[in-house]
Amino acid sequence: GDSVTQMEGPVTLSEEAFLTINCTYTATGYPSLFWYVQYPGEGLQLLLKATKADDKGSNKGFEATYRKETTSFHLEKGSVQVSDSAVYFCALSRNQAGTALIFGKGTTLSVSS
Amino acid sequence: DVKVTQSSRYLVKRTGEKVFLECVQDMDHENMFWYRQDPGLGLRLIYFSYDVKMKEKGDIPEGYSVSREKKERFSLILESASTNQTSMYLCASTGTDTLRDTQYFGPGTRLTVL
């Protein structure tokens, strides 16, 4: 069945470091891909998304490109800030109308000053 | 802005109690979802609803039921709470195009069953 695999954390970085969080997926059809972020004590919020191959989603300095050939959707940011400390979830839409997202297990990012 | 609200941020119940978790969205979304979030397991789908009075089981429906009497409200029910249902519960909603539309999440309810 469809699935999402993302790198395990925690990821610990210094401020202004480069961030990559790997995400690969297995899916039938043509899912949309999402990155959600969960700040401490809060629910999930959409960070960015891409709905077809070669699309690049971007928001708040984060980017991810939908790579169908490598079934990947890696999250990157050129210079992280302390405020980026959160849990990041990669997700894909199931290939059936009316159904939910499939999430990876989440990657905790901790940024120190 | 879309707003999804959940009735409680924190809840403590005893084993065997009946527990109701309420979720309300204000964007006239057709689709609503209940997930539970556990460390190391990510989010897992419990139930979802694509219309009033319609419901579908997700990946882990055992021990849970749901109710959707009005479009804006989706309730999760633990008929007889057990300690292994201690978790964070997240409600979400989305519009018609579930393949592309963003899911909007509530702040979550952290349930502890003693």
DSSP code string of A26-60? E-SS---EEEEEE-TTS-EEEEEEE-STT-EEEET
* Structure confidence at residue B96 (pLDDT): 73
Q: Report residue A95's pLDDT band, with 50, 70 and 90 as the boundaries.
A: low
| CB hemisphere CA count around B86 (13 angstroms) | 9
Chain mean position to CA B109? 9
Query: Does the bond joining A10 to the residue before it have cis omega, within 30 degrees of 0?
Result: yes
* Structure confidence at residue B40 (pLDDT): 85
Closest to B44 in 3D by CA, of A30, A89, A73, A51 = A89
Q: Report residue A35's pLDDT band, with 50, 70 and 90 as the boundaries.
A: very high
Of B42, B100, B108, nearest to A32 by CB-CB distance is B100
Average the pLDDT over A43-65 and give the result. 94
Whether A107 has its CB under 8 Å from any CB of chain B: the answer is: no
A98–B98: do the CB atoms touch at under 8 Å? yes
The three-point CA angle B84-A110-B93 to 5° equals 55
Which of A20-34, A66-80, B73-87 is the least confident region? Answer: A20-34
| Residue B2, pLDDT above cutoff 80 | no
* Structure confidence at residue B98 (pLDDT): 60
Average the pLDDT over B82-88 and give the result. 97
B108–A42: do the CB atoms touch at under 8 Å? yes
Q: Which has more confidence, A103 or B101?
A: A103
Residue corresponding to tokens 């699935």: A3
B98–A100: do the CB atoms touch at under 8 Å? yes
B105–A44: do the CB atoms touch at under 8 Å? yes
For A41, residues 6+ apart whose C-beta sits below 8 A from its C-beta are: none
Which parts of chain B are beta strand (E)? 4-6, 10-13, 19-25, 31-38, 42-51, 54-57, 64-70, 73-78, 87-94, 104-105, 109-113
Residues of B in contact with A48 (CB under 8 A): none
Which tens digit of pLDDT belongs to each residue from B50-67? Answer: 889 899 999 899 999 999
B/e letters for B55-90, b = 16+ CB within 10 Å, e = fewer, are beebeeeeebebbbeeebebbbebeebeeebbbbbb
Of A44, A89, A99, nearest to B98 by CB-CB distance is A99
How far is the alpha carbon of B52 from chain A, nearest alpha carbon, in Å? 13
How far is the alpha carbon of A50 from chain B, nearest alpha carbon, in Å? 8
In DSSP terms, A34 is beta-bridged to A49, A91
| Residue A46, pLDDT above cutoff 80 | yes
Q: Is B4 exposed, middle or buried (0-12, 13-18, 19+ CB in 10 A)?
A: buried
CA-based nearest residue in chain B for residue A8: B40
How far is the alpha carbon of A4 from chain B, nearest alpha carbon, in Å? 11
* Structure confidence at residue B9 (pLDDT): 93
CA-based nearest residue in chain B for residue A6: B42
Cα B52 to Cα A91: distance, rounded to the nearest angstrom: 26
Whether A105 has its CB under 8 Å from any CB of chain B: the answer is: yes
CA-based nearest residue in chain B for residue A10: B40
Question: What does the mean pLDDT of chain B come to?
Answer: 92
Q: How far apart are the first and last CA of chain B?
A: 37
The three-point CA angle B80-B81-B84 to 5° equals 135
